[in-house]
Amino acid sequence: MNASLIEEDEEQCLIVKLENVDLQGETVEPNCDPIHKERDLSDENREAAQELKGKAIDAVSEGKFYKAILHLTRAISMNPTSAILYGNRACVYIKLKNPKAAFRDAVTALKINPDSAKGYKARGIARAMFGEWAEAEKDLHLASMIDYDAEISDVLKEIEERRRQRSHAEAQAAYVKAKKQEQSSSAREKAKKGHSSSNRHRQEPRRQEQSSSSRQSRGSSPGSFPGTFPDGFLGGFPGSFPPGDDQRDQSGFFGSPFGSFHSFGSPFGYQN
């Protein structure tokens, strides 16, 4: 790594390709030291911070990022008003795959210097690592406007590809979910129809049995009036005359003691 990436007069930031970045890894939280006012600094502190920054440069060039973090943290304690130091430490945190700590340092750098290109750049990359694509693009575009950096274009292209992949994955997931819901609804509808058909099949024999019983009840004595006498209308009627009895002919219809009717005329009188 080029040591000039951490020089005070450089606004370049460590670039980490997003395909090599994830949210896992060891976490080294930054010191949340208060930002001191300029008047609190002494020349001695400035010189000490500069010396520690040099040691951090050597550690970064050797790939010893945790050691670089320690040197930059001590440098910040000596000169807490340097946005560059916070921005550089944010870049090392990104290299360590710790976007949370990188984000906090980038925010601090922007509080000290709202026009810090390195602050926007580091925060943009951290947001990209969080998956906050829209916010990441805003920060990176701001960084590019303040101080154009060709590397930002590469990061933006990577972000755009990640957004496209996520959009495709979300669309695919939505399609699968809708398909499952449709299949589930269809299965419920089929089950409902099957249940209704089964009920009809179970009830059909009962309806047929009831219909048969009703027909048998209505036609139990076909061709006769229930309760009629056997062997004819008059046969066996108590008190009737036996066949061939002359008295039946002499007494008239039903052997009435009042005499026989001469005809079936008016019911209101006899014919003379």
Rounded to whole angstroms, how far apart are CA atoms 109 and 112?
5
- Whether the predicted pLDDT of 216 surpasses 80: no
| Residues in CB range of 257: below 8 A, 6 or more apart | 251
Distance of CA 181 to the CA centre of its chain: 11
Query: In whole angstroms, how large is the CA radius of gyration of the chain?
Result: 54
Rounded to whole angstroms, how far apart are CA atoms 9 and 264?
145
pLDDT at 229: 45
| pLDDT band at 262; cut points 50, 70, 90 | very low
- Whether the predicted pLDDT of 86 surpasses 80: yes
Give residue 170's identity as a one-letter amino acid code.
Answer: E
259 DSSP 8-state letter: -
105 within 8 A of 122, measured Cβ to Cβ: yes
| pLDDT band at 179; cut points 50, 70, 90 | confident
* Tokens, residue 215: 């027909």
pLDDT at 199: 66
pLDDT at 67: 95
Kindly list the structural domains of the chain, giving each domain's residue range(s) and its CATH number in brackets, ordered by start.
3-164 (1.25.40.10)
pLDDT at 57: 86
Q: Count CA atoms closer than 13 A to 177's CA, side-chain side.
A: 6
pLDDT at 87: 92
Span 53-82, average pLDDT: 93
Rounded to whole angstroms, how far apart are CA atoms 86 and 157?
26
Averaged pLDDT score across all residues of the chain: 73
